[in-house]
Chains A and B, each alone.
Chain A
Amino acid sequence: MTALVREAWAAARSQGVASSLTCLLVAAVVVAITLTSGRTVAAQQEVLRSIDSVGTRAIVVRADTDSGLTTGFLQRLRAVDQIAWLGGLSPIVDGRNAGVPDAAGVPVRQLYSDDLRAAGMPAQPVSHTAYASATALDALGMPYGVGELSLTNGDTLGVAPAVGPAPALLEFEPLVLVPATPHGDEPLAVVVVIAASPDMVAPLTPVVTSLLALDDPRMATVSTSSDLAELRSLVEAQMSALSRSLIVGLVGVAAVLVAALQTALVLMRRKDFGRRRALGASRGFIVALQLTQTALLVLVGAAAGVMASGVVLAVTGAPQPGVRFSLAVTIWTLTFALIASLAPAILASRRDPATELRVP
C-alpha cells in the first residue's frame, strides 16, 4: 500500500509539468467554487444563524393602535417561566436629523425591557438619548453616530449608536429606540417574547395569548417562529440547490479536463506502461497506481485552492465558508476526478508489452 503510494508520488513528481497542471486545474476550480458558492454558503449560514439565534424562539405580538395593549402586559408576562427575553415597543413617532432641514424621517419607538443590553444598548442608558442601529444612522445621515433627533411630537433627543444588531428586533429596522421605564399604562404596538428554547415556543404561545387580556382579541395578532422555520427551510433549500448545481458543474468540468490530460499522458507514455506490465505489474496494479496518482494530485491541488481562497476571502473581509464546506468540495472533486480517471487508468493497464516494447 505505502509502496504503491510512494510509486504514485514519484511517478507524479517525475512528470512535473503535467502534474503541476493537474494540481493547478484542481486548485483553480476549488478557488472558483469557494469564491462563488462558498460565499453564498457563508452568507446563507449567516442568515440561518441569525434566524436561529432568536427567530425560531420568538413570539411576536402586534397590536392595533387603539387595541388598548399597555405595558401592564409586560408586567404580567414577567411572571411566566421559560422566557429568555421580553421587550415591548411603543407606537411609532417620526424623528428627523435635527441638523438637516427636510431630512427623511425614521420611526422612533420607546423600548420597555428589563434587559437593554440584548437590544444593543448599555444597561444604564443615557437619558434623553435614542439608540440607533447602523441602518438607522445611515438613514438619518449620521455616519459617526452623533447628532440630534427632533421628533414630530416636539421633543429633541440625543443620538447614540446601538451596539451590534439586536437579532430579535431585526425585522423592525431601521431601529431607533428610546429606553423607557414602564409604569403599566403606556400603550404598546409590539411585544417580542424570546422563549428559552425553540421547543418552548409552542407551550408559551397560548400563555402569551391568554395574558393579552384585550377587550377585542382580534385587535392583536400573535405570530410565532413556525413561519420563520418555514422561511428557514426555504432559504436553505433554495440556496443549497443553487450552489450544488454550480459546484457539480465546475467539478464536472475539472474532472473532464483532468481525464483528458491523463489520457494524453497515458498515450504519450504507453511504452512505460508496457514495460511495467512486462516486469510483472498486474492490470489492477496499474489502475490503482494511476488512480492513486490522480488522488494525490487532486488532494495537493485542493489544499492549495482552499488556502488560496481562504487568503482571498480574508483579504476581502468576506465570510469564510468553513472547514466542512472545503472538505465537501475536496471530496466532490476527488470523487469526480477518480471516476473520470478510471477510463485512462484502464487504458494504461491494457498496454501490451509485446507491442509497446517492440524494436523495429
Chain B
Amino acid sequence: MKPLTQGLVARDLCFSYDGRRTTIVDWSAVLAPGQVTAITGASGSGKSTLLYLLGLMLTPGSGSVLIDGERVDTLGDTQRAALRSELFGFVFQDAALDATRTVADNVTEPVLYRRGDRKAASGRVPALLAAFGVDVPVDRRPGQVSGGQAQRIALCRALIGEPSIVLADEPTGNLDPESSAVVLGALRQHARDGGVVAIVTHSDAVAASCDQEIRL
C-alpha cells in the first residue's frame, strides 16, 4: 500500500440528482490515513451518494474533493477512473459480484483495471478468502455462495490491491455478529496499516467502535 499523507478531504460538497432536490448539502469532512470513519444516517439520507462522490463516480454540483491536497473532482473521466483503480477499494451496498464469473475472477477484477499481475493476485485469493472465513472453492460462481459470503468476497475484492482508500457501503449489513467482527477487524487493520477507511453503517455499535462518526 502507498499510504496517503493528508488523506481524503471533502469541502462544502453539494449534490443533486435531478437539479431540484439536493441530496447532499455543504458536506465537509477529513478522512485521515490511519482512521476509520463511520458515516451514519437514516435510510435515504444520502450515505451511498456521498460514497459515490468521495469515490469519484459522481461529480459534485459544488464543493471539492481532494486527495493529499490535490483537487480530484474536476479531473476528466479517464483520470478519475485511473484514480479509482489505483487508490480506491470499494464495497458496494450489495455485493455486486459478477454472477457469471468465478469467485477468483471476481476478487481479482480490480487488478485488471490497474494493469497489475492478475495471475499472481489469483494466487493470493485462497488465503485472503480464508482470512475472512469464506470457505468456498475459488472456481465457484457467486450464485452458489450465501449472501454473507458474497459480501465478504466483495470485501476481498476491495482489499486485493491494497488500496490507500477503502469506501465500504454497509459492509456488515448481511453478516452474523461473528463475521461482522472479522470484517470490521480487517478494515481496522487496514487503517492501522495507513489506509483511509470509511464505513457506512446503521449499527450504533459499529459506529461507536470507529475513530470518528459523521452523521448525515
Contact = CB atoms under 8 A, between A and B. Distances in A.
> Do the two chains belong together in a single complex?
yes
Nearest to A4: B112
Given A275-B96, A280-B113, A281-B113, A354 B52 contact: yes
Given A278-B57, A278-B84, A358-B48, A285 B94 contact: no
Interface in A334-360: 352-354, 357-359
Contact of B81 (A10, A15, A282): A282
A281 B81 contact: yes
A357 B91 CA distance: 11
A7 interface: yes
Interface in B76-133: 77-78, 81-86, 88, 90, 92-94, 96, 98, 100-101, 105, 109-110, 112-115, 118
B78 A279 contact: no
Interface residues of A, number: 26
Interface string B58-78: 100000000000000000011
Interface string A269-303: 00110011111111111000000000000000000
A359 B47 CA distance: 12
B77 A283 contact: yes
Contacts, number: 76
A271 to B, nearest CB: 7
Contacts of B114: 280
A339 B52 CA distance: 33
B58, B84, B93, B114: most-surrounded residue (chain A CB, <10 A):
B84
B6 interface: no
A10 B105 contact: yes
B55 interface: yes
A3 interface: yes
B82 A280 contact: yes
B49 interface: yes
Q: Chain B interface secondary structure, helix, strand, loop or mixed?
A: helix
Given A7-B112, A15-B100, A280 B81 contact: yes
Nearest to B88: A280
B57 A279 contact: no
Nearest to B109: A279
A14 interface: yes
A359 B98 contact: no
Contacts of B112: 3, 7, 281
Nearest to B52: A354
B93 A359 contact: yes
Contact of A279 (B52, B84, B105): B84
A14 B81 contact: no
A278 B115 contact: no
A281 B110 CA distance: 8
A280 B110 contact: yes
Contact of A3 (B81, B110, B118): B118
B81, B94, B114: most-surrounded residue (chain A CB, <10 A):
B81
A282 B77 CA distance: 8
B98 A272 contact: yes
A32 B145 CA distance: 45
Contacts of A7: 112
Given A14-B100, A285-B113, A277 B52 contact: no
Contacts of B86: 280
B52 A353 contact: yes
A159 to B, nearest CB: 72
Contact of B101 (A6, A10, A280, A284): A10
Contacts of A283: 77-78, 81
Nearest to A284: B78
A13 to B, nearest CB: 9
Nearest to B105: A10
Contact of B49 (A3, A277, A281, A354): A354
A358 B169 CA distance: 11
A318 B85 CA distance: 56
Given A283-B78, A284-B78, A354-B49, A359 B84 contact: no
A14 B103 CA distance: 13
Contact of B55 (A3, A272, A278, A358): A278
Given A285-B113, A353-B52, A279 B90 contact: yes
Across chains A and B, which 9 residue pairs bring their CB atoms closest together, nearest first? A280-B85, A14-B100, A280-B113, A280-B84, A282-B81, A359-B93, A354-B52, A353-B57, A281-B113
19 contacts: A7-B112, A10-B101, A14-B100, A15-B100, A275-B96, A277-B57, A278-B55, A278-B90, A279-B113, A279-B157, A280-B82, A280-B85, A280-B86, A281-B81, A283-B77, A285-B113, A353-B52, A357-B93, A357-B94
Interface of A: 3, 6-7, 10-11, 14-15, 271-272, 275-285, 352-354, 357-359
Interface of B: 48-49, 52, 55, 57-58, 77-78, 81-86, 88, 90, 92-94, 96, 98, 100-101, 105, 109-110, 112-115, 118, 157
Given A3-B112, A14-B100, A354-B57, 18 more contacts: A3-B115, A10-B105, A11-B100, A275-B96, A279-B84, A279-B110, A279-B157, A280-B83, A280-B84, A280-B88, A280-B113, A281-B85, A282-B113, A283-B81, A285-B113, A357-B96, A359-B93, A359-B94
